[in-house]
Structures are given as C-alpha cells and as structure tokens.
C-alpha cells in the first residue's frame, strides 16, 4: 500500500493578478487530501483501477477505469460529486470548475469522473511507465474538508497523483489546468510562501516566508456560502489588460503583508489591495457591498464573489465571529485553526 497526502490552500494576496506575474502570499492549510493506493497483480487481465473519492470519509464517487485508455464503467456518485472546485481542464472534459455539468445527475457524474480520468491520462503521457502492464489497482482519495469551501480539492488531488506517478506536480497541473499553480506550491509546503507565476513553460518562483502574525487572534476566515467558478474567473481575467504598475503594487503589498507586525497596517494593506483589484476586474469589494458596518477590514480570497473571506479587526476573534454569525455566516474559522503554524 502507498499513502500520499497534500495540503489544501488559501491565497491571502494576489488573486487574479498572480496570473499577470504579481507575487502572491499563499498559505497551506491544515485541511488536505490523502490518496491511498493498493496494487493487486492479476495475470492475463487488462489494467483496471477501482477509484473512490470520499469527502470526510464518506463516499462520493466510485468508478472503475479499465484498459490503458482508462475507460470508465460501473459509475456511481452522489449529486455533489468530486471535485467542488478547480481551474479549467483541457481535453474533452466540458464540465465547469465545480466538476458539475448543467443538466441531470448523469452528466454531472460523467464530468466528475472525466476530471479524475483526465488527470490519470495526463500523468501517463508525462511518464509512460506509470500504470503500464496488467494489474488491478484500488485508489481511495479522501478530502478532509467540505469540497464546497474551495480549499483545493482539485489541486491536492493533482499533487497526490503526481506523487503516485513520480512526476513533477507542476507538469501535471499545467497539463490539465489554466491556473497559476500556486495551489500546487501550497500542496507541497508546510510554510506560507510568496508565489510568482512565470508562465506555463517555466518553473514558478516559490519563496517560503514566516507569516504567523502576533495579531492572529484578530484574523478569521469566513466562508461566503457560495462556490466560485475558478475556470470562468481565469478566462474572464485573461481578457483584461493589466497595468504593470498594478502588478508591481500587488507584489509590493504581498511582500509587505507577509512581514507586517501591526494590525492596523495590515488592515490598511488589505483595503488597498481590494481597491487595486477592484479597479483591475471591475467589481466592487465585498466589504462595501455586504459588510459596510464591519469594524475592520475584509478581503476576498481567490475569485471574487465566493469562497473564503479574510476578516481583520481590532475586535478579538470571538467578537468577529459573533458579527458574522449575525450576518448569517455558517462557517467561520479562526486563523490558528485554519493555517499550518509557521515557526521561524
């Protein structure tokens, strides 16, 4: 048996503009995904993989892939099947970033299954020795968080399959995704990092940093209650013209925020970051739209309009949590409970 694990992720700064070359401050989170693989040799039988996807130990998807083209058969899945969120995929997989297709459950299941199949096929193309010969495999992928949260169910799976195939995770990621790849960096890191996307044909810049601020008791992550389609957000952003000055400003903020020791400076930087990003993408910051009375600063993390928000306030964590509960938020996670602790 082989067991692999990769971390989930959050992008603290640099959303959207990371694709234009801005440095992003990113955090690996305590929630992740495991992949358990067992090989059973079988003579005179074609390649076969029994694949299961679990969400918090509950089965969401079961499918058998057969032959070296990994033809799927005998498929079952619940309505909210894997994956909850990912960047766009290449090939014939037309499902959206949630692994869901419009229409009935059958199309939805097929989209989820094709996503896994496309990653496995891409891994085989990168390393032809992977999954060669006859044999039976049983692979169980277990996501440790609610897939709707957008913490990297797709990227942590890609990372785990890359570990299984013994290939570079960025090569696999860029073979199936149009994202920046920062989530792959988080999947393989136990420290916060500054990530710089240098194009699909070059290795990214990854610099680990110390980010465990003294004011962490004043930081909470709030789930918006809405899943965001990363693929559509990426495609929409790619059509925009971004000023090099904005890219430089976001990079400077990312580096500065990683080193800040004063809460008010951090909140001011959050607000400045929101204003720059709003001007680039033509959307209103979430705080001005939904939380104008919040006594602090709120920043979108990742694609705007969904996923997690970062809230910072002179108020202590419990009082921040009370504020968002009154606003109807169901999932509110303090900084220390979300992020892998970073020590100098």
Assigned domain for 192 exists = yes
Structural domain boundaries enclosing 151: 2-208
Task: Evaluate whether 23 touches 149 at the Cβ level (below 8 Å).
Answer: no
Q: Of 164, 183, 208, which one is at a domain's C-terminal end?
A: 208
Peptide bond into 178 cis (omega under 30): no
Shared domain check, 230 and 141: no
Cβ atoms within 10 Å of 135's Cβ, excluding its own: 16
pLDDT at 97: 36
pLDDT at 316: 86
Shared domain check, 228 and 203: no
pLDDT at 342: 64
Cβ atoms within 10 Å of 2's Cβ, excluding its own: 11
Shared domain check, 284 and 203: no
Which one, of 57, 92, 20, lies nearest residue 248 by Cα? 20
Distances (CA, A) of 96 to 154, 177, 276: 12, 12, 28
Q: Of 175, 208, 241, which one is at a domain's C-terminal end?
A: 208
Shared domain check, 237 and 171: no
pLDDT at 230: 54
Q: Of 168, 185, 208, which one is at a domain's C-terminal end?
A: 208
Assigned domain for 281 exists = yes
Assigned domain for 343 exists = no
Q: How far apart are CA 36 and CA 336, in angstroms?
A: 28
Report CA torsion sign: 92, 144, 3, 194.
Answer: positive
Shared domain check, 300 and 153: no
Q: What's the number of domains the chain is made of?
A: 2
Shared domain check, 144 and 49: yes
pLDDT in 10s for each residue of the chain, 344 residues:
999 999 999 999 999 999 999 999 999 999 999 999 999 876 657 889 999 999 999 998 999 999 989 999 855 444 444 443 443 334 444 344 334 434 446 766 777 899 999 999 999 999 999 998 878 999 999 999 999 899 999 999 999 999 999 999 999 999 999 999 999 999 999 999 999 999 999 999 999 999 999 999 999 999 988 655 555 545 555 546 789 999 999 999 999 999 999 999 999 999 999 999 999 999 999 999 999 999 999 999 988 988 899 999 999 889 999 999 999 999 999 999 999 976 55
Shared domain check, 272 and 187: no
Shared domain check, 250 and 168: no
């Amino acid at each position: 048996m082989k067991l692999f694990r990769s971390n989930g992720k959050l992008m603290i700064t640099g959303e959207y503009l990371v694709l234009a070359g801005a440095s992003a401050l990113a955090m690996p989170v305590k929630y992740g995904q495991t992949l358990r693989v067992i090989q059973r040799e079988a003579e005179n039988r074609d390649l076969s993989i029994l694949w299961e996807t679990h969400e918090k130990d509950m089965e969401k998807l079961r499918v058998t892939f057969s032959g070296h083209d990994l033809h799927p058969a005998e498929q079952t899945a619940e309505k909210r099947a894997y994956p909850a969120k990912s960047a766009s995929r290449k090939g014939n997989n037309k499902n959206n970033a949630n692994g869901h297709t419009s229409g009935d459950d059958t199309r939805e299941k097929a989209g989820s299954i094709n996503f896994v199949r496309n990653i496995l096929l891409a891994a085989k193309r990168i390393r032809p020795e992977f999954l060669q010969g006859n044999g039976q495999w049983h692979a169980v992928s277990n996501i440790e968080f609610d897939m709707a949260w957008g913490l990297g169910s797709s990227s942590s799976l890609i990372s785990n399959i890359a570990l299984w195939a013994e290939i570079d995770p960025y090569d696999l990621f860029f073979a199936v995704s149009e994202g920046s790849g920062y989530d792959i960096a988080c999947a393989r890191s136990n420290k916060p990092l500054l990530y710089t996307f240098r194009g699909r044909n070059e290795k990214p810049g990854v610099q680990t940093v110390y980010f465990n601020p003294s004011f962490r008791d004043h930081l909470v992550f709030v789930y918006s209650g809405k899943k965001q389609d990363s693929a559509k957000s990426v495609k929409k952003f790619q059509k925009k013209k971004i000023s090099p000055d904005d890219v430089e400003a976001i990079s400077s903020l990312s580096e500065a925020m990683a080193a800040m020791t004063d809460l008010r400076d951090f909140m001011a930087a959050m607000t400045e970051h929101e204003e720059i990003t709003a001007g680039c993408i033509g959307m209103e910051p979430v705080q001005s739209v939904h939380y104008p009375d919040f006594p602090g600063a709120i920043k979108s993390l990742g694609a705007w309009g969904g996923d997690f928000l970062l809230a910072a306030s002179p108020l202590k964590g419990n009082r921040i949590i009370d504020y968002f509960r009154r606003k109807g938020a169901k999932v509110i996670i303090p900084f220390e409970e979300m992020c892998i602790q970073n020590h100098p």
